[in-house]
Chain A
């Protein structure tokens, strides 16, 4: 190799920059974890001791618990609705002859392109008139729309990955549409569908902007409750909530990773 020395120096500089950026990405979130177990009313780094006081505070506060349960309910329903509607649409796009296909594809990316604040304010206006603010139905519908693009993309990828000949074989052997879907298609795309549901759950559970606008005073989601608490007082309870949310995200990502590996292994086994 020519020009070894400046080359190596340059490479080391780029590597150092890359690792510094990694630290920059992770550190702010990670630093919250030790701070959440500090015993004092003021967040301090390093913490002055170890105490689970702020975690106990969270579980004892009916407002926090109510907001968490409501968000869980919404996220579970959203995962269900978005996965069913999204999988059906993905099937229509890949295996069907959908009239106005271009328009439908535009609609799929719509909720990703339109800024969430625009959508949130528009939903707030209509939901107020329909008395849907602060309701389970309103939240589920809103979050389902936000999660749908991700579900559709994920299931589309799963559908493109396996051989359509398998479905054709089942159909020509006399299996009905529904039987083919249940016994051939669904088992093959199952990891994709489950990870789509996982995406939908996280998107809903963490969703701050639409939640901020369509919450009611007595019925609010966890992100809305966090938003209010951050805005008025940066209490250590929030550090405990943030830590638990981050842990939940890590778990979901690990689960998603395991599912992806399973799907790849399955695809490799079929084609190999």
Chain B
């Protein structure tokens, strides 16, 4: 500790000033302006919010967003668990290679990864070419612009956010615990259910929350991989703003999304360890 050698409150504020100024102008002001618009235009009140929640078309988009985010989280959990487990039991080169396999996608452009899925899934894309060559199909199958494609591609893009917290939770489980359980006669399944799973639950919560939150507001992948039938809330917001110029209504949609996200974060604030995703490279 520096004791009396710490910066004075005034000096500390001066150091924080550029940050505070930037966040005030480019974070707080824009969000406040948009939310103000949603509450006061055309008339003060919750009219825009009521419109969003009463109109079946918009309600359907919101329910679909929740459903897709849930499915993406579930798929990511199922895919991430074995990888995180093997990573947590690896050392040296093996760990480095598995880690690279997780970090490289994390830092590769979301657009590149989404584009890759479009190349794979389109009508004359790689998967259809393969299936045709194997004689499994006569006509190309429609893969793009389906809910399954959206879920698959989003789970792929968000997978690293599930693997990393799972890995750090699993790494904390000493080798001896599962071994002891098995020595005492527990089956592998019982060992998993009674010993490993309860101990990695904090990582599961953290990863699921992170993926679910990111999926709720995800824009790029659903906008490109999904069609109008798979529209999620982010695409709806974009459409309101760019095509219909309906700022107050878009503001209400953003307000609903924000309320949802903040409620989840507050509910699980212990599980959200954002600093985990930094300095991993």
Q: Which residues of A line the B interface, CB within 8 A?
A: 1-3, 6-7, 10, 14-15, 17-19, 21-22, 24-26, 28-29, 31-32, 35, 42-45, 81, 84-86, 88-89, 91-92, 95-99, 104, 107, 109-127, 141-142, 144-145, 148-150, 152-154, 156-157, 164, 167-168, 171, 177, 195, 198-199, 202, 206, 208-209, 212-213, 223, 226-227, 230-231, 234, 238-239, 242, 245-246, 249-250, 252-253, 256-257, 260
Contacts and interface: CB of A to CB of B under 8 A. Distances in A.
* Band of interface residues on B: 35 or more
9 smallest A-B Cβ distances: which pairs?
A115-B217, A96-B12, A122-B30, A96-B7, A18-B86, A17-B82, A153-B278, A92-B15, A256-B281
B107 A14 contact: no
A212 B234 CA distance: 13
B107 A21 contact: no
Tell which of B29, B34, B37, B160 has the most Cβ of chain A within 10 Å. Answer: B34
Contacts of B182: 1-3, 7
Interface string B15-43: 11011101101110111011001000000
Given A18-B82, A117-B238, A249-B107, A96 B27 contact: no
Contacts of A22: 83, 98, 101
Interface stretch (B44-52, B55-63, B198-206, B253-261): B253-261
B37 A125 contact: yes
Contact of A154 (B122, B247, B278): B278
Interface of B: 1-2, 5-9, 11-13, 15-16, 18-20, 22-23, 25-27, 29-31, 33-34, 37, 79-80, 82-83, 85-87, 98, 100-105, 107-120, 122, 124-126, 129, 156, 159-160, 179, 182-183, 185, 187-188, 213-214, 216-220, 224, 234, 237-238, 241-242, 247, 250, 254, 257-258, 261-262, 265, 272, 274-275, 278-279, 281
Contacts, number: 301
Tell which of A28, A31, A125, A260 has the most Cβ of chain B within 10 Å. Answer: A28
Nearest to B185: A2
B107 A252 contact: yes
B16 A28 contact: no
A141 B118 contact: no
A216 to B, nearest CB: 13
Nearest to A28: B116
Contacts of A116: 217, 219
Given A2-B182, A32-B116, A260-B281, 19 more contacts: A26-B105, A31-B116, A45-B129, A95-B7, A104-B20, A107-B20, A110-B27, A113-B274, A114-B27, A114-B258, A114-B261, A144-B26, A145-B22, A152-B19, A167-B5, A168-B5, A195-B279, A209-B220, A234-B115
A21 B79 contact: yes
Contacts of B107: 202, 206, 249, 252-253
A164 B20 contact: no
Contacts of B22: 81, 85, 141, 144-145, 148
A contact face: mostly helix, strand, loop, or mixed:
helix
A115 B210 CA distance: 11
A258 to B, nearest CB: 10
Contacts of B185: 2
A92 B111 contact: no
Nearest to A252: B107
Contacts of A2: 182-183, 185
22 contacts: A7-B188, A18-B87, A18-B98, A32-B115, A43-B126, A88-B18, A89-B15, A96-B7, A114-B261, A117-B234, A118-B254, A125-B33, A125-B34, A154-B278, A156-B275, A168-B5, A198-B281, A199-B281, A208-B219, A212-B219, A253-B100, A253-B103
Contacts of B85: 14, 18
Nearest to B103: A253
